[in-house]
Amino acid sequence: MLSSIGSIPLEASKRFGDKTALILADRSISYNELEDLTNRFANALVGLGVKPGDRVTLYSGNCWEWVVSYYGALKMGAVINPINVMLTPAEVEFVASDCGASVVIASYEKALPLQGVKDRSQVTDIIVFGDEALPEGLLSFNEILTNSNDDFTIDAIDTDSLSTICYTSGTTGFPKGACLSHKSILMNIAITTLMHQRSELDKVVIALPCAHVYGNVVMSSAIQNGMTLVLHAAFEPKAIMQSIQDHKATRFEGVPTMYMFMLNDPELDNYDLSSLRCCTVGGQTMPKPKMEEVEKRFGCPLIEVWGMTELGGLGTTFAANGIIKHGSIGTALPYTEVRITDPEDVSITMPTGEVGELLIKGGIVMQGYYGNEKATKETIEPDGWMHTGDLASIDEDGCIFIVDRKKDMILTAGFNVYPAEIERVVAGHPDVALVAVGSIPDEAKGELAKAYIVPKTGVSPDSDSIIAYCREHLAAYKVPRAVQFVDDLPKTSTGKVMRRELKTLDI
Report the distance separating Cα 281 and Cα 253, nearest Å: 6
**What pLDDT is stored for residue 1 in this prediction?**
66
Q: Would you give the end-to-end CA distance of the chain in angstroms?
A: 54
Q: How far is CA 482 from the centre of its chain?
A: 31
Which value, in Å, is the radius of gyration of the alpha carbons in the chain? Answer: 23
Burial class (CB in 10 A: 0-12, 13-18, 19+), 295: middle
pLDDT for the residue numbered 171: 43
Angle 224-37-233 (CA atoms, 0-180°, nearest 5)?
Answer: 70
Per-residue pLDDT 10s for the chain (507 aa) are 688 999 999 999 999 999 999 999 989 999 999 999 999 999 999 999 999 999 999 999 999 999 999 999 999 999 999 998 888 888 899 899 999 999 999 999 999 999 999 989 999 999 999 999 999 999 999 999 999 999 999 998 999 999 999 998 654 456 889 999 999 999 999 999 999 999 999 999 999 999 999 999 999 999 999 999 999 999 999 999 999 999 999 999 998 889 989 999 999 999 999 999 999 999 877 888 889 999 999 999 999 999 999 999 999 999 999 989 999 999 999 999 999 999 889 999 999 999 999 999 999 999 999 999 999 999 999 999 999 988 899 999 999 998 877 677 787 866 667 788 788 889 989 999 999 999 898 876 778 899 999 999 999 899 999 999 998 888 788 899 999 999 999 987 777 788 878 988 987
Torsion of CA 418, 423, 426, 432, to 10 degrees: 160
* All domains of the chain in start order, with CATH: 5-16+26-183 (3.40.50.980), 190-405 (3.40.50.12780), 409-505 (3.30.300.30)
Q: What share of the chain is helix, strand, coil (3-state, %, to 5)?
A: 35, 30, 40
List, edge to edge, every strand of the sheet that includes 345-349: 345-349, 336-342, 356-362, 386-394, 400-405
What DSSP character marks residue 13? H
Cα–Cα dist 471/469, whole Å: 5
Q: What is the pTM of this model?
A: 0.85
> Which pairing describes strands 139-140 and 125-128: parallel, antiparallel, or unpaired?
parallel
> Which of 240, 293, 329, 287 shows the shortest CA–CA distance to 436?
287
Dihedrals phi, psi of 190, to nearest 5 degrees: -65, -45
- H or E segment and range at residue 487: none
d(CA 40, CA 379): 39
Burial 454-470 (b: 16+ CB within 10 A, else e): bbbeeeebeeeebbebb
In sequence order, what DSSP letters do the residues of 469-494 get, joined into one string? HHHHHS-GGGS-SEEEE-S---B-TT
